[in-house]
Structure 1
Amino acid sequence: MLSNWVSNWPSSCWLRVQETFWLRSMVAKLAVGADVLVVRPLREQDAFLQLLTAANISFRYKPIMRIVPITEPLAAVERIRDLILQFAQFDKAIFISANAAELAIQWLDEYWPMLPEVQLFAVGQQTGMMLKEYGAEVLSPQGQQNTEGLLKEMPQLQNLADKSVIIFRGAGGRATLADTLTSRGAMVTYCDLYRRVIDPVSLVQARAEDCRCLVAHSGELLQAMGPISNKATMLVVPSERVAEIGHDLGYKHLVVAESALPESMFRAVQQALG
């Protein structure tokens, strides 16, 4: 019987079904005259969107960017594999984002049943928590949750003479981290694990949205959205660096969150909406 078959599903399957329906409901959310527009990439169990929902804040979710793991060309995949096999030769490893941590864990788990003694760093607390759940010891900034905070707060990253550092990231990221580490004496290697791809259809739809507040979790997302169309639109961003991009695009009303953490961004939205 169908009911018996369904009742025998593993709990993990039910969890996946629930997550799928939740994600679809967020993407399809139709809030006429929504207060908030969120454009960051789709993710499972998005804590920021959950906070907006719990607070009964109307929002539209238009993910204009997709995170695409690097699976081609073959040369790029072989480079990732080679760097993973050489992982024990590095003194330090830095994980730029939760996406980088998730994909790196998959690669490391395949080739390293037990992680070698490489000192691990995460740019933000969310990325750090993902690595800790994997069982790794990881250091991350407690104050400023970004590259600048990592470079400023971590004493282990100040004097790097003759130290080798591998940075797990998305292709085409900022050079600030590598440039600074190199200036401190490090030999830096990039391991690009994914690409950020703008969805042109979603971008057109997002640009056409009428909202009181735009939430841009990164400078790349904000630049993709382009110059402001409604001078009254509030802008919520996770850092002063992204705020500068907003100013250049014509935004006059900005709120800078303490960090990119869901709770911080949520408080910034509340402040923006007054």
Structure 2
Amino acid sequence: MTGWRLLLTRPVEECEALAATLAEQQVFSSSMPLLTIEPLAESPEQRGIILELDRYCAVVVVSKPAARLGLDLLDRYWPQPPAGQRWFSVGSATGALLDAYGLPTAWPASGDDSEALLSLSAFSDALAVADPKVLIMRGEGGREFLAERLRGQGVAVDYLELYRRCLPEYPADALARRVEAECLNGLVVSSGQGLENLQRLAGDAWADLAHLTLFVPSPRVAEQAIEAGAKNVVDCRGASAAALLAALRQHPAPTL
């Protein structure tokens, strides 16, 4: 595992936390955040949804930024959260934020993705009501698969979009130069949009970078990466540090 030299692309704070965890395991990493989180201004639509929060039998929060911003809204409009409502997250880190707030929260024990959440018995139990309605707190776009599957089961789904993800400004050749200068042999993305930003920043260099091992968080992002031309894709089945470390243990670093 220690032969890996990884490029991390998450938002700044998440890169710092992941880099520290990797360093504890003697894994070299270089951080180049390809996503910044920009909170959306509160709109009448957002306010209307949060004021009617008690209409939903379950609330799904897809990320830590969505948790932080969603809890801010909850503080403003609901001094006491709706009774009997269940909260769910896709990953344990997001779930821990909701749990610390005092919300009844569950998340999959393994697999930080929509498929794992859909197979969670507590989630199925929460939907076992007349006319089930689910609210998904997220950034702009994302988790369409989850909503499609739920709607296919007769569940009404609404979105509360709380932020947008933006690509930071970098010189055109910054990514290729970083990979070459630091002899990196693996790339890590945590979402489909992170992968899109990676390709966009790579530009013409993507044809070469696509040969590096690419660690992705889910089967859907893996499929997206393969369609984009990535030659060696590893599905970590989760975006957590633990999921990445497990994947690194299972896949030896390439030898030069």
- After TM superposition, the score normalised by the length of structure 2 is 0.83
CA offsets 1:8-56 (integer angstroms, 9 cap, x no match): xxxxxxxxxxxxxxxxxxxxxxxxxx92111111226843211122233
Partner of 1:273: 253
Are residue 212 (structure 1) and residue 185 (structure 2) matched? yes
Alpha-carbon separation, structure 2, partners of 1:60 and 1:255 = 19
| Residues 168, 187 of structure 1: alpha-carbon distance in 2 compared, 3 angstrom cutoff | same
Give how far 1:174 is off.
3.5
What secondary structure does 1:94 align onto?
strand
CA offsets 1:212-245 (integer angstroms, 9 cap, x no match): 1111111211122224424541111222222222
Partner of 2:109: 142
Alpha-carbon contact 1:160-1:184 (below 8 Å) kept: no
The amino acid that maps onto 1:167 is I
| Residues 39, 268 of structure 1: alpha-carbon distance in 2 compared, 3 angstrom cutoff | same
Q: Which moved more, 1:133-142 or 1:149-158?
A: 149-158
Partner of 1:257: 236
What secondary structure does 1:114 align onto?
coil
Question: What pairs up with 1:180-195 in 2 under 5 angstroms?
Answer: 180-195=149-164
Alpha-carbon contact 2:113-2:237 (below 8 Å) kept: no
Alpha-carbon separation, structure 1, partners of 2:52 and 2:147 = 19
Larger radius of gyration: 1
Alpha-carbon contact 1:91-1:119 (below 8 Å) kept: yes
Give how far 1:196 is off.
0.8
**Residue 175 of structure 1: which of 118, 126, 144 is its match?**
144
Question: What pairs up with 1:221-232 in 2 under 5 angstroms?
Answer: 221-226=194-199, 227-230=206-209, 232=211
Across the aligned residues of Structure 1 and Structure 2, the Cα RMSD in angstroms comes to: 2.3
Alpha-carbon separation, structure 2, partners of 1:82 and 1:199 = 32
| Residues 205, 88 of structure 1: alpha-carbon distance in 2 compared, 3 angstrom cutoff | same
Partner of 2:53: 87
Question: What pairs up with 1:48-127 in 2 under 5 angstroms?
Answer: 48-71=18-41, 77-117=43-83, 118-127=85-94
Give how far 1:111 is off.
1.6
Alpha-carbon contact 1:42-1:63 (below 8 Å) kept: yes
CA offsets 1:56-104 (integer angstroms, 9 cap, x no match): 3332101011111102xxxx52222221111122222111111111110
Alpha-carbon contact 2:57-2:127 (below 8 Å) kept: no
**Residue 213 of structure 2: which of 234, 256, 272 is its match?**
234
CA offsets 1:155-206 (integer angstroms, 9 cap, x no match): 2266565112111111122421222212212221111000011124277522
Alpha-carbon contact 2:114-2:143 (below 8 Å) kept: no
Structure number with greater CO (CA < 8 Å, separation at least 6) is 2
Structure 1 unpaired stretches of 5+? 1-33
Percent of aligned pairs sharing the same letter = 30
Partner of 2:202: none
Q: For this pair of structures, how many residues does the alignment match?
A: 237
| Residues 157, 137 of structure 1: alpha-carbon distance in 2 compared, 3 angstrom cutoff | closer
- After TM superposition, the score normalised by the length of structure 1 is 0.78
